[in-house]
Every structure is written in structure tokens, then in C-alpha cells.
Structure 1
Amino acid sequence: MSRTKKLGPVARFRERGGVSLRKIRAEIEKSLKQLHVCPQCRFRAVRRYSVGIWKCRKCGFTFAGGAYTPTTKIGMAARRLKKTET
């Protein structure tokens, strides 16, 4: 696969889709591939197992989240609402 310094693995799309779409895709893929914090053990070891399924490599905790990130904006808003009600 082709790579460039600016876009990384998204360079495989070459000129298709335009610059703005490739930049958006690059941000999504960057957050998708990085390690995230586990909600149970608080260790940075969460990776995506499949679409919407996230798994911690340290404690083995598996949970459902967003397609590209372990938390979604709606999920965080719901958590805040629940916290203020109790």
C-alpha cells in the first residue's frame, strides 16, 4: 500500500474523493488505530475488536461503543444526564 507523510494510509485512495474527504478519513483512521483508555481498569490498552466492539488487552473487558471510537457523543451526554439525576 502506498503511504505519504501527510495522509498516511489514506494515500491508498490517491486522488479519488478529494482532499477534504481524505483528510476526514485520515482523522477517523488515526483515532481508530490508537490505543484508548479502558473504562474498567483505566489502562491504555483498548483496541477495536470489530465494528462497535472494543476489547481491553490488559483486563479482557469487552464492551460496545461507537464504530470508530469507544465512546460516542450521545453516550457521553447520556452518562452526564444519568450522573446529574442520581
Structure 2
Amino acid sequence: MAKSSDKSAKGKVTGSAGRFGCRYGRFVRKRVAEMEKISRAVHRCPRCDTESLQRKGTGIWGCRKCGYKFAGGAYQPETPGLRVALRAIERSGVVVEEKKQ
């Protein structure tokens, strides 16, 4: 028989979703914890290429180093749809210039 230390907790969710306790179900808490982990992480700035990009609000992202502010996904700066669109633009050969401030 296995010791209790060998077993892993099946439904235990720690981290930011721990504030919900036993409410809302295991998979909802797991999904919320994963989403908040991604949104609160520090991401790479598309302009200055440093890891200083933070979420300012829903879909608003700002770089702490260069001050670059742009609209992106609600919980991550680049959505999967944006990646597909950028890949299609890159393949077509269209040159997209960034607007200078």
C-alpha cells in the first residue's frame, strides 16, 4: 500500500484561485489560476525587446522601460489570432511600418 506522501492531491488548486476555496468547481478554478498566471507574468516588449511588458488593464499592455503602450489580448499581449494574421502578412510580402511617435 502506498504512503499518503506518494499520492498527489487530485482536486487541490493552489495559487491565485485558492481564494475561491472549494467553490465553482475544480476545472473553473484551474482555468482561472492558469489565466491569471499568464496575465500577471512579465512579457517581452515588441518595441525594445526587453522583458518589461505588463498588463495595465483589460487588453491594454505597457512597457515599463520604453513606455510603449498598445492594445493586445485581454490576458496575453499576442493572441493566437494575431500570430496567424502576422504570419499571413509576412508570407504575402507586405511591409508593415510602425507609426513613429
TM-score (norm 2): 0.78
Q: TM (normalized to structure 1)?
A: 0.91
Aligned length: 82
Moved over 3 A (4+): none
| TM-superposition CA deviations, 1:48-84 (whole Å, max 9, x none) | 1111010000000001100000010101100000000
Are residues 62 and 52 of structure 1, via their aligned partners in 2, closer, same or farther at CA, if it must alter by over 3 Å? Answer: same
What is the root-mean-square deviation of aligned Cα atoms in Å? 1.2
Identity %: 43
Contact 2:59/2:75 (8 A) holds in 1? yes
Partner residue, 2:29: 22
Return 5+ residue gaps in structure 2 as ranges.
Answer: 1-11, 94-101
Higher helix share: 1
Structure holding more strand per residue: 1
Q: CA deviation at 1:6?
A: 4.5
Partner SS, residue 34 of structure 2 = helix
In structure 1, runs of 5+ residues without a counterpart are none
